[in-house]
């Protein structure tokens, strides 16, 4: 049985500086190998509307699968995992 | 991190020095700002390159530019983007090769067209199935090479797909001597517009041919079945077929009527469970035991009449011997058995009838041979007359036997009827008896005018001769015989009247039966007992009737009717 992937949560709520996108990209770069293997899933919590469009675009171009969900608390959750194929 | 304040040495507070330092500071700040702007610009440039929006300056404070290293982060991410692009490219390449392989390997002819019907791509099957031609057709209008006829163009799948934006199909497209089922599939751009149309032509010529052959074969099977059904329905023999477990699978109408069963109620039932006829049960049980006698006679009563049937059971071929079905045929042999019986009767009667005159012939001829010179001329002549008379009698017996056997065996008589004068026929018949030694005067009485009758000349002569012969045999020599002729009730009537020994009512009732002789003890009167039987057969074959009116000691009248011409 394949074990479920580990989850790493990156909470960047309330963060304007440094950029949410760059913080996320730095985390993606760090965990790229684990994410690609499917060992890890990255959950990013953000309240920046800009980030909700920039982060998925960049992550998808890097070959990851991205899902965005608005949570009842008012912030967003961007889930990044290995590519669909 | 914000800059911290510090106290400066005295030499550095000199105004000129301060001014220089201020200028240097301003220069440094400018340089820093240029560097930060450069870093921001390059970061945004990289972000844009990897498909992401630029970052607003407030998201990257000056101090964080150095600490965060955005160019480093984005450049590394960009590396992953490139890697992803390379992998995607490889996958696309593979997919393209797969599509190309399918494109060439597929049995259908495939055309890829643009919305203007220009050929973008096509596989090899297009050449062999649709065109029978070579050369590059890319960019050519498909109508010029595929749909060259008007009817073909009217059913254009390309136009249908272009209009609907959905997959479309068309059956029985005919071109190049072949039939195709055509399927059209649109390829849409992100805005949902049709950019390409893929047309697949599936060759269904063989399929259609097979279908047509199958229909012909089915029709033949149906006709053969109809023929068998008709044969089974119309055959007079009863037929019952059973499977390997002796269950009824088929029964024709004749068998249904004979056995009092109905196929619709009996299929699948074991035959022995539904058959009540004892003879047939015995036959089937014998067959089941494997006994050799598979032909059995049995009686059935049909419409109150006894009829004889012969049951014959045979196995019909099957792959497994244990699963062999059987067919039981019930053949009506009543007539054959009747004929056999008649033949037996004729044979035994013939032997009996021939023996008496033959004994006389042998006796007298033997006497003539043995004592020829001892016998006087008169006696010799008398013996010869006796031999001759017995030979005549033998001839008549043989003739009657042949007649009755022909009449009985062929069930009815073949007549050639024509209009004849009853008077002339009667005269002809009477003429044959005028010189008989018995000396009976024969009178012909015609009431009214001559009667034209529709008869077979030879048959009617035989009837009259038999009647006259009987009249003379059974009446004293010299007594008159009267033949009367008249027309009435739409028929011609002939009666032969004698003043002979006559018959009782019982004898008269049996007079027409085969081999019946009213006075069998009187061997002096020669006869086979067939004369009146033949008369009745012949008269009835003409559609007439025959009746006897007789009184013992007074005489007999035989009365016949014949159709008028």
- Whether B542 has a pLDDT exceeding 70, the answer reads yes
B481: part of which helix (H) or strand (E)? strand B481-488
For chain B, the average pLDDT equals: 84
Q: Please state the ipTM of this predicted complex.
A: 0.90
CB contact under 8 A, A17 and B84: no
Cα→Cα distances B396→B319, B354, B389, Å? 62, 10, 11
Written as one string, the DSSP assignment of B88-121 is HHHHHHHHHHHHHHHHHHSSSEEEEE-TT-BEEE
Size of the A and B interface in Cβ pairs below 8 Å:
76
| pLDDT for res B213 | 93
> Per residue in B360-403, pLDDT tens?
888 889 988 998 888 888 888 888 988 888 888 788 778 777 77
| pLDDT for res B253 | 86
CB contact under 8 A, B58 and A29: no
Distance from CA of B83 to the nearest CA of A (A): 8
Enumerate the residues of chain A whose CB falls inside 8 A of the CB of residue B70: 18-19, 22
Average confidence (pLDDT) over B124-136: 76
This prediction has a pTM of 0.44
| pLDDT for res B474 | 87
Enumerate the residues of chain A whose CB falls inside 8 A of the CB of residue B66: none
> Per residue in B145-174, pLDDT tens?
777 666 666 778 898 999 999 999 988 888
Judged by average pLDDT, the poorest of B132-136, B150-154, B260-264, B316-320 is B316-320
Written as one string, the DSSP assignment of B520-533 is TT-TTS---S-HHH
Judged by average pLDDT, the poorest of B255-259, B314-318, B521-525, B533-537 is B521-525
Token match 């059987």: residue? B326
Ranges under pLDDT 70 in chain A: 1-4, 15-18, 83-85
Distance from CA of A22 to the nearest CA of B (A): 7
Enumerate the residues of chain B whose CB falls inside 8 A of the CB of residue A83: 84
| pLDDT for res B185 | 94
- Whether B343 has a pLDDT exceeding 80, the answer reads no
Chain A interface, best mutation among B42, B46, B58, B59, by max A CB count within 10 A: B59
Distance from CA of B67 to the nearest CA of A (A): 10
Closest CA to B533 of B389, B345, B390: B345
CB contact under 8 A, B60 and A26: no
pLDDT-derived band at B518, boundaries 50, 70, 90: low
Task: Enumerate chain A positions whose Cβ falls within 8 A of a Cβ in B.
Answer: 16-22, 25-26, 28-29, 32, 50, 53-54, 57-58, 61-63, 83, 85
> Per residue in B398-428, pLDDT tens?
877 777 777 766 655 678 889 999 999 999 8
B474 vs B556: CA distance, rounded Å: 9
pLDDT-derived band at B323, boundaries 50, 70, 90: low
> Per residue in B219-256, pLDDT tens?
999 999 999 888 888 888 899 888 888 888 888 888 88
> Per residue in B185-224, pLDDT tens?
999 998 989 999 999 999 898 888 998 999 999 999 999 9
CB contact under 8 A, B80 and A16: no
CB contact under 8 A, A18 and B59: yes
Closest CA to B389 of B311, B333, B473: B473
Q: Are B43 and B57 spatial neighbours (Cβ–Cβ below 8 Å)?
A: no
- Whether B3 has a pLDDT exceeding 60, the answer reads no
- Whether B266 has a pLDDT exceeding 70, the answer reads yes
């Amino acid at each position: 049985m394949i074990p479920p992937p580990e989850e790493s949560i990156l909470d960047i709520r309330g963060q304007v500086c440094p950029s949410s996108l760059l913080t996320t990209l730095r985390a993606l770069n760090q965990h790229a190998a684990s994410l690609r293997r499917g060992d890890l899933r990255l959950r990013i919590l953000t309240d920046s509307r800009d980030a909700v469009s920039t982060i998925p675009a960049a992550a998808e171009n890097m070959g990851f699968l991205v899902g965005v969900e608005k949570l009842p608390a008012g912030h967003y959750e961007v889930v990044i995992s290995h590519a669909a194929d | 991190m914000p800059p911290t304040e510090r106290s400066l040495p005295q030499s550095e507070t000199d105004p000129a020095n301060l001014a220089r330092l201020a200028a240097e500071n301003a220069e440094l700040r400018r340089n820093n700002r240029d560097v930060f702007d450069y870093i921001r610009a390059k970061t945004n440039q990289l972000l844009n390159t990897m498909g992401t929006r630029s970052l607003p300056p407030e998201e990257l404070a000056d101090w964080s530019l150095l600490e965060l290293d955005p160019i480093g982060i984005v450049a590394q991410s960009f590396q992953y983007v490139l890697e992803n692009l390379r992998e995607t490219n490889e996958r696309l390449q593979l997919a393209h090769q797969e599509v190309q392989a399918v494109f060439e390997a597929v049995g259908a002819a495939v055309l890829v067209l643009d919305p203007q019907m220009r050929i973008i791509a096509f596989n090899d099957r297009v050449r062999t199935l649709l065109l029978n031609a070579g050369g590059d057709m890319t960019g050519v209008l498909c109508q010029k090479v595929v749909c060259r006829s008007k009817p073909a163009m009217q059913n254009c799948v390309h136009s249908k797909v272009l209009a609907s934006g959905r997959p479309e199909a068309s059956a029985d497209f005919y071109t190049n001597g072949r039939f195709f089922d055509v399927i059209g599939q649109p390829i849409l751009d992100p805005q949902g517009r049709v950019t390409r149309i893929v047309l697949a032509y599936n060759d269904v010529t063989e399929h259609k041919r097979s279908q047509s052959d199958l229909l012909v074969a089915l029709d033949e099977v149906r006709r053969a079945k109809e023929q068998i059904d008709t044969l089974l329905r119309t055959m007079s023999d009863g037929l019952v077929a059973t499977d390997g477990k002796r269950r009824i699978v088929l029964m024709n109408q004749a068998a249904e009527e004979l056995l009092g069963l109905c196929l619709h109620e009996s299929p699948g039932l074991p035959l022995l469970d539904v058959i009540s006829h004892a003879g047939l049960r015995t036959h089937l049980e014998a067959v089941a035991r494997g006994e050799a006698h598979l032909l059995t006679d049995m009686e059935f009563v049909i419409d109150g009449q006894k009829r004889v049937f012969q049951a014959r059971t045979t196995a019909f071929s099957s792959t497994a011997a244990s699963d062999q079905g059987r067919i039981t045929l019930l053949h009506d042999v009543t007539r054959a058995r009747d004929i056999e019986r008649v033949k037996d009767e004729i044979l035994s009667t013939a032997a009996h009838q021939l023996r008496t005159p033959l004994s006389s012939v042998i006796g007298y001829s033997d006497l003539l041979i043995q004592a020829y010179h001892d016998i006087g001329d008169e006696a010799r002549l008398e013996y010869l007359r006796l031999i001759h008379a017995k030979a005549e009698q033998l001839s008549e017996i043989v003739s009657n036997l042949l007649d009755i056997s022909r009449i009985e065996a062929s069930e009815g008589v073949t007549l050639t009827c024509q209009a004849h004068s009853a008077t002339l026929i009667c005269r002809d018949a009477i003429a044959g008896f005028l010189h008989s030694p018995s000396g009976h005067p024969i009178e012909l009485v015609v009431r009214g005018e001559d009667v034209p009758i529709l008869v077979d000349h030879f048959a009617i002569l035989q009837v009259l001769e038999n009647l006259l012969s009987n009249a003379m045999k059974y009446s004293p020599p010299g007594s008159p015989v009267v033949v009367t002729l008249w027309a009435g009730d739409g028929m011609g009537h002939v009666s032969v009247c004698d003043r002979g020994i006559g018959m009782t009512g019982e004898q008269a009732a049996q007079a027409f039966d085969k081999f019946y002789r009213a006075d069998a003890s009187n061997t002096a009167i020669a006869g086979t007992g067939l004369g009146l039987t033949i008369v009745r057969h012949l008269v009835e074959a003409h559609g007439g009737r025959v009746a006897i009116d007789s009184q013992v000691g007074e005489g007999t009248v035989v009365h016949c009717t014949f159709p008028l011409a």
